[in-house]
Amino acid sequence: MINKKAVIVLSGGMDSVTTLAYAKDRGFDCYTITFNYGQRSLAEINSATYYSKKYNCIDHKIFNIDFTKFSNSALTNNKIEIVNDNDDEIPVTYVPMRNIIFLSIACSWAETNNVTDIFIGANAIDYSGYPDCRDNFLDSYEKMVNFGSKSGVEGNKFIIHRPLVAMKKNDIIKLGHSLGVNYLQTVSCYQATVDGKACGICESCLFRKKAFEENELADETLYI
Amino acid sequence: MINKKAVIVLSGGMDSVTTLAYAKDRGFDCYTITFNYGQRSLAEINSATYYSKKYNCIDHKIFNIDFTKFSNSALTNNKIEIVNDNDDEIPVTYVPMRNIIFLSIACSWAETNNVTDIFIGANAIDYSGYPDCRDNFLDSYEKMVNFGSKSGVEGNKFIIHRPLVAMKKNDIIKLGHSLGVNYLQTVSCYQATVDGKACGICESCLFRKKAFEENELADETLYI
């Protein structure tokens, strides 16, 4: 268990913070990486900084990548209204290739630091229909990255850990609480204020609210 | 053959320019994307702009991504000397996950434009031992991106075209010449001057020189 190191993709939301706590609990010293990609909610980045310090991470990198230059997602384009979808379609908040790009930059940084354990809080149950959150995608990604990297080719295979992938939101909160996570600083809202207050009505807020309710826990969220 | 569109990853080197000419010849209207990633040679970007205009591309995007923040490659770090490797090892010019990241941003932009044909000039013969230039990696990438994207999941599968992957450098030049490519503006040199002059001694220059020689063609390169 000595000197195990991991890179955690840390958005500052509940899932990624739970994933960080999980990795720490499993004995990993953690590097965290957060992407500033023109998302509406800069409060997420403050949350990521807060939890990186709280969990004594080796280094926290904030990486700028401007999706607004090549994508039309409502998450990065203020002109598109965020609406809640009640059907099975992929919603307007989908950002093409987001997790692929995030994982690849995380793996690049990991390889530079001789790290092969990557953690991502991707979740395919109470998710929003994003294809890049599914288990079979992550399997496929892991295979690909080991074909396409020095580390993988030389036999130091990357492992893409996705401990939450098959968990429901309320089980994620349950896990987090068992690990001592306090979610107050986490940001889930798609349109949170700069100081981290949530709208309470977007899809992501509704998932979160329901999860606290189902666990009969006080809702650790600041609303506007 | 009407309205076929493609996104071309265009570095401005010989391989990517040949790939652009090849895609045009196959009837594709092309979008081109060039990455400004802290590489030593900004002349490549000027070359990419030149050929994008020459081939009447729909749009040419120059995307900034700062690999210097997370990688130690000699291509992006001026403190590491570029040396020619004569063994089979992956050289210091390797940039971790470079093609994975480039392809993913290209696919993201493509999906936004309803394009599923992506062309990359990756080459696994006279290459430098980069794992992310090999055919099996690109197969694996194609499979992964179709699991992880809206387009792929909805049945509009991405195709990652890599027409040069099994070609030797002199066959690439032969192909280019048959398509009418003039290579004068292309930049291959790892340390080209801003106005596009090549050093003539780095690994990439040597590959290029040899290829012109073997084709008994005049060397279309400006040297310092």
DSSP annotation of B129 reads S
The verdict on residue B35 lying in a domain is yes
Residue B42 has φ and ψ, to the nearest 5°, of -70, -15
**Closest to B147 (Cβ–Cβ): which among A90, A136, A145?**
A136
The Cα of B129 is separated from the nearest Cα of chain A by a number of Å equal to 9
Q: For residue B112, list chain A residues with Cβ-Cβ distance below 8 A.
A: 70-72, 96
For residue B7, give both structure tokens: 């996104």
For residue B74, give both structure tokens: 């000699």
The verdict on residue B141 lying in a domain is yes
DSSP H/E element including B147: helix B135-147
Q: Is the ipTM of this complex over 0.90?
A: no
- Select the residue from A73, A97, A113 to test the B interface by mutation, using most B Cβ atoms within 10 A: A97
Hey, are the CB atoms on B111 and A105 less than 8 Å from each other? no
Residue found under tokens 């098959």: A166
The verdict on residue A66 lying in a domain is yes
Hey, are the CB atoms on A70 and B109 less than 8 Å from each other? yes
Q: Which pLDDT does position A175 carry in this prediction?
A: 96
Cα separation of B108 and B100, whole Å? 12
Strand ordering across the sheet containing A29-36: A59-64, A29-36, A5-9, A117-120, A159-161
The verdict on residue B159 lying in a domain is yes
**Closest to B71 (Cβ–Cβ): which among A64, A69, A108?**
A108
Q: Which pLDDT does position B7 carry in this prediction?
A: 98
The verdict on residue A216 lying in a domain is no
- Which of the residues in chain A have pLDDT under 50? 1, 82-83, 85-86
Q: Tell me the pLDDT tens digit for each residue of A121-164.
A: 998 875 567 888 899 999 999 999 999 999 999 999 999 999 99
Q: For residue A112, list chain B residues with Cβ-Cβ distance below 8 A.
A: 70-72, 96
Q: Confirm if A161 and B112 have CB atoms less than 8 A apart.
A: no
DSSP annotation of B81 reads P
Measured between CA atoms, the residue of chain B closest to residue A141 is B144
For residue A95, give both structure tokens: 């950002």
Hey, are the CB atoms on A105 and B94 less than 8 Å from each other? no
For residue A167, give both structure tokens: 């968990």
Measured between CA atoms, the residue of chain A closest to residue B90 is A150
Give the angle B90-A63-B12 at the CA atoms, nearest 5°: 50
Inter-chain Cβ pairs, chain A and chain B, closer than 8 A: 141
Hey, are the CB atoms on A144 and B147 less than 8 Å from each other? no
Q: For residue B9, list chain A residues with Cβ-Cβ distance below 8 A.
A: none
The Cα of A158 is separated from the nearest Cα of chain B by a number of Å equal to 12
Q: What residues are paired with B172 via a beta bridge?
A: none
Measured between CA atoms, the residue of chain B closest to residue A93 is B150
Cα separation of B76 and B92, whole Å? 10
Residue A26 has φ and ψ, to the nearest 5°, of -85, 5
The Cα of A109 is separated from the nearest Cα of chain B by a number of Å equal to 5
Burial profile A137-157: b = 16 or more Cβ within 10 angstroms, e = fewer: bbebbbbbbbbbbbbbbeeee
Interface of B with A (CB under 8 A): 61, 63-67, 69-72, 90, 94-101, 104-105, 107-109, 111-112, 131-132, 134, 136-137, 140-141, 143-145, 147-154
Hey, are the CB atoms on B112 and A71 less than 8 Å from each other? yes
Q: Confirm if A75 and B86 have CB atoms less than 8 A apart.
A: no
Measured between CA atoms, the residue of chain B closest to residue A97 is B108
- Select the residue from B145, B146, B151 to test the A interface by mutation, using most A Cβ atoms within 10 A: B145
The Cα of A159 is separated from the nearest Cα of chain B by a number of Å equal to 15
CATH code of the domain containing B149? 3.40.50.620
Cα separation of B199 and A99, whole Å? 39
The verdict on residue A214 lying in a domain is no
DSSP sequence for chain A: -TT-EEEEE--SSHHHHHHHHHHHHTT-EEEEEEEE-S-S-THHHHHHHHHHHHTT-SEEEEEE--GGGT---TTT-TTSPP----SSSPPTT--TTHHHHHHHHHHHHHHHTT--EEEE---SSSS-S-GGGSHHHHHHHHHHHHHSSHHHHTT---EEE-TTTT--HHHHHHHHHHTT---TT----TT--TT--B-S-SHHHHHHHHHHHHTT------B-
The verdict on residue B222 lying in a domain is no
Dihedral (C-alpha) A210, A212, A216, A222: value to the nearest 10 degrees? Answer: -120
The verdict on residue A220 lying in a domain is no
Q: For residue A108, list chain B residues with Cβ-Cβ distance below 8 A.
A: 67, 70-71, 95-98, 101
The Cα of A9 is separated from the nearest Cα of chain B by a number of Å equal to 14
The pLDDT tens digits along chain B (224 residues) read 456 999 999 999 999 999 999 999 999 999 999 998 876 667 889 999 999 999 999 999 999 888 877 766 555 555 555 445 445 566 666 788 999 999 999 999 999 999 999 999 998 875 567 888 899 999 999 999 999 999 999 999 999 999 999 998 889 999 999 999 999 889 888 788 888 889 999 888 898 888 889 888 888 888 98
The Cα of A216 is separated from the nearest Cα of chain B by a number of Å equal to 34
Q: Confirm if A193 and A46 have CB atoms less than 8 A apart.
A: no
Nearest of A117, A118, A116, A138 to residue A127 by alpha carbon:
A138
**Closest to B149 (Cβ–Cβ): which among A65, A97, A111?**
A97
* Number of structural domains found in chain A: 1
Hey, are the CB atoms on B153 and A96 less than 8 Å from each other? no
Going A65 to A71 to A75 to A79, the CA torsion angle's sign is positive
* Domain encompassing residue A49: 5-182
For residue A92, give both structure tokens: 């307007």
Hey, are the CB atoms on B70 and A105 less than 8 Å from each other? yes
